[in-house]
């Protein structure tokens, strides 16, 4: 994902939401080596099985290497990192071939961790206005004059609902710790938008002075808006009567019918107040995902190269999976009885101040996301490929059954 960048382009600035290329790629290899070859229940630090590179733990163990220090670490050059990745993959494949059913949790953990970092690499290219690799699919530039597809809601009766992953569910060989375990909630009746809010709809909020109208923002949202000085979504700019957006290194007119992307939870909530709507809770989102309504489209696996417009079919929920991640109203908190898995730093450090997002984006692997999968980010982040779908109905969201 970074091989096409020049050395000058790889000199990333030291900002909190990106990592240096050689650090991040080396970390992905280290993670695979540690969990697939070195970690054992009776040797959780992998001390008895050293890394193939003597200093690897001091460079790439993100649990113990603060972000601010990563710019000064003497990590190997690209040839050294590629040799490390090749050797680690060979070790992993040999161990996988020798494994038995019930012994492959760590292999899947490493695979999904790599999937997440591939999406993060694309996020970094977007953040830094860097070009895509030449082989990566490009979304077609489209006219900003296109009309948004028909709006509308899918209505759900609500009711008792088992949220989260079920113990012993043989269809789910791998479950992240924050999905454990299934617990009863009650979801009041609600209606969920068939599609995510579009660029055209969000532009109407901007044109109505949305970023200057205090009454449409939460207290936290207004603090963010004043501190950031934001007046429109990230990577938009005005040229006369037209809005343009930057996707990676290229500028194109904003397509009105595509979902708005790169807006944070505060911006999403402000738009909802403007429109008389709200964000769904994660229980409502999951309820909708598992209760039998048709789900049209699944823009995943990098196929489209970017978000695409929802179709204008009359039924179902368009792009509930893929296209753009979707903000929910729910804080990222543990489910009842939560216990951290061996990779304890995956979930527990982020409970409380992060917000749940659901569904995946065009850059998410389909093998990673499903109706129970929970992703999470700070509510002020908007560098992800994230938008939002709105809801109406009871403000109660859900309650413990």
Helix (H) or strand (E) holding 10: none
Is residue 17's pLDDT more than 60? yes
Residues 207 and 248 placed together within one structural domain of the fold: yes
Mean pLDDT lowest among 126-140, 226-240, 328-342: 126-140
Which pLDDT score is estimated for 396?
A: 45
- Rounded to a whole number of angstroms, the distance between the first and last alpha carbons of the chain is 46
391 is a domain residue: yes
Beta carbons within 8 Å of 83's beta carbon, 6+ residues apart: none
Does 309 reside within a domain?
yes
Token duo for residue 38: 């070195």
Verify cis geometry, omega within 30 degrees of 0, for the bond prior to 125.
no
Which residues touch 391 (CB under 8 Å, ≥6 apart)? 190, 191, 192, 193, 277, 278, 279, 280, 284
| pLDDT (mean) for 219-228 | 98
Over its C-alpha atoms, the chain yields an Rg (Å, rounded) of 22
What's the rounded Cα separation, in Å, for the pair 157 and 191?
9
Q: How far apart are CA 259 and CA 40, in angstroms?
A: 44
The pLDDT of residue 345 is: 97
How much is the average pLDDT of 163-179?
A: 83
Domain that holds residue 309: 153-400
Q: Are residues 288 and 356 in the same domain?
A: yes
Q: Would you say residue 170 has pLDDT above 90? A: no
pLDDT at 93: 97
Task: Let me know if residue 234 belongs to a domain.
Answer: yes
Q: Is residue 15 part of a domain?
A: no
Enter the DSSP assignment of 35: I
Query: Within a domain: residue 13?
Result: no
| Predicted pLDDT of residue 398 | 41
Give me the mean pLDDT over the 215-224 stretch.
Answer: 98
Residues 39, 76, single domain; the answer is yes
Identify the domain boundary among 127, 144, 174.
127
Work out the pLDDT band at 101, boundaries 50, 70, 90. confident
273 to each of 7, 38, 89, 114, 285, how far by Cα in Å?
46, 51, 49, 37, 19
Handedness of CA 351, 106, 114, 370 (dihedral sign): negative
* Beta-carbon contacts of residue 302 (< 8 Å; ≥ 6 apart): 136, 137, 362, 363
Number of domains forming the structure of the chain: 2
Q: Is 297 left (phi over 0), alpha (psi -120 to 50) or beta?
A: left
Per-residue pLDDT band at 254 (split at 50, 70, 90): very high
User: Are residue 245 and residue 387 in the same domain, yes or no?
Assistant: yes
Give the pLDDT confidence of 324-338 residue by residue, as tens digits: 999 999 999 999 999
């Amino acid at each position: 994902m970074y091989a096409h960048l020049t050395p000058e382009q790889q000199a990333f600035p030291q900002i909190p939401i990106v990592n240096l290329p050689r650090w991040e790629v080396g970390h992905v290899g280290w993670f695979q080596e540690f969990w697939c070859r070195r970690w054992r229940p009776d040797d959780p630090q992998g001390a008895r099985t050293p890394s193939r590179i003597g200093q690897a733990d001091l460079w790439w163990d993100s649990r113990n290497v603060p972000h601010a220090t990563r710019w000064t670490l003497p990590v190997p050059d690209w040839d050294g990192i590629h040799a490390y990745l090749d050797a680690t993959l060979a070790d992993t494949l040999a161990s996988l071939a020798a494994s038995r059913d019930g012994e492959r949790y760590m292999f899947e953990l490493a695979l999904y961790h790599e999937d997440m970092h591939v999406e993060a690499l694309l996020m970094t290219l977007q953040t830094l206005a860097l070009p895509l690799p030449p082989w990566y699919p490009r979304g077609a530039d489209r006219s900003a004059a296109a009309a948004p597809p028909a709006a509308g809601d899918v209505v759900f009766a609500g009711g008792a609902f088992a949220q989260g992953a079920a113990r012993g569910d043989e269809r789910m060989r791998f479950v992240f710790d924050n999905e454990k375990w299934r617990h009863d909630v009650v979801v009041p009746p609600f209606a969920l938008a068939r599609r995510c809010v579009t660029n055209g709809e969000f532009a109407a909020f901007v044109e109505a002075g949305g970023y200057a109208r205090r009454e449409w923002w939460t207290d936290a949202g207004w603090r963010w808006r004043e501190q950031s000085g934001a007046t429109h979504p990230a990577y938009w700019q005005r040229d006369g009567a037209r809005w343009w957006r930057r996707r990676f290194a290229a500028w194109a007119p904003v397509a009105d019918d595509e979902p708005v992307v790169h807006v944070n939870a505060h911006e999403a909530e402000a738009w909802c107040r403007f429109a008389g709507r709200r964000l769904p809770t994660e229980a409502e989102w999951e309820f909708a995902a598992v209760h039998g309504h048709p789900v049209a489209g699944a823009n995943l696996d990098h196929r489209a190269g970017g978000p695409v417009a929802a179709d204008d079919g009359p039924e179902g929920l368009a792009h509930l999976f893929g296209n753009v991640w979707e903000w929910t109203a729910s804080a990222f908190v543990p489910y009842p009885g939560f216990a951290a898995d061996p990779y304890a730093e995956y979930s527990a450090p982020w409970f409380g101040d992060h917000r749940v997002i659901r569904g995946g984006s065009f850059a998410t692997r389909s093998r990673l996301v499903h109706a129970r999968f929970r992703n999470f980010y700070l509510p002020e982040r908007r560098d992800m490929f994230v938008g939002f779908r709105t809801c109406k109905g009871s403000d109660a969201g859900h309650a413990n059954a």
